[in-house]
Structure 1
Amino acid sequence: MSTTEAVSAEAQPKSDWEAVRDLPPSAKLVAKVLEYNDQLTQSQLAEETLLPGRTVRYALNRLEEVGVVDARFSFTDARKRVYTLQIE
């Protein structure tokens, strides 16, 4: 195994949920809500989680950093982004 393979193997978590485990509670809640809903906008997530929009935005940023959330532009409103969970 080369050095780069060893480094990338260490960087990869055992599962995607393990990557979420070390995140703040708000990020865990957003991930769970996304698990039960196919795709939601930030405002829909705020409504579902009862969290302030700013907290939802922070949680989504943290989830994107660990690579478990995908964001795409909404087809119905290009000003909004639709978020989906990438954990199987």
Structure 2
Amino acid sequence: MKDLPPSAKLVFFVLKEHDSLTQKQLSEESLLPSRTVRYAITQLQEIDAIETQVSFRDARQQVYSLSETGTEVANSFT
């Protein structure tokens, strides 16, 4: 986590506060541009901190949430 860019850390903590969000919702909640959120998601996926699922509402979208590893990291901050 320490080596991640600030945008990835922000996205991580937004996901910690919400169960799961789409990329658009992450962008709205974090106030980051969509492109920056995409980069942050990629960074978080590389360290297995988040997991991706297909949205039940719209199969064209993906929903992001903390993985088991991400949850353990999040719990270490509390």
Query: TM-score w.r.t. structure 2 length?
Result: 0.86
Matches within 5 A, 1:32-51: 32-51=13-32
Q: Which runs of 4+ in 1 moved over 3 A?
A: none
**Bigger-Rg structure (1/2):** 1
Tell me the residue number matched to 2:8: 27
Indicate yes or no: 2:52 matched with 1:71: yes
Quote how far apart the aligned CAs of 1:57 are: 0.2
In angstroms, what is the RMSD of aligned CA positions?
Answer: 0.6
User: Which ranges of structure 2 fall in alignment gaps of 5 or more residues?
Assistant: 73-78
Percent identical pairs in the alignment equals 57
Structure 1 unmatched runs, 5+:
1-19
State the TM-score, normalized to the length of structure 1.
0.76
> Structure 2: how far apart are the matches of 1:21 and 1:77?
34
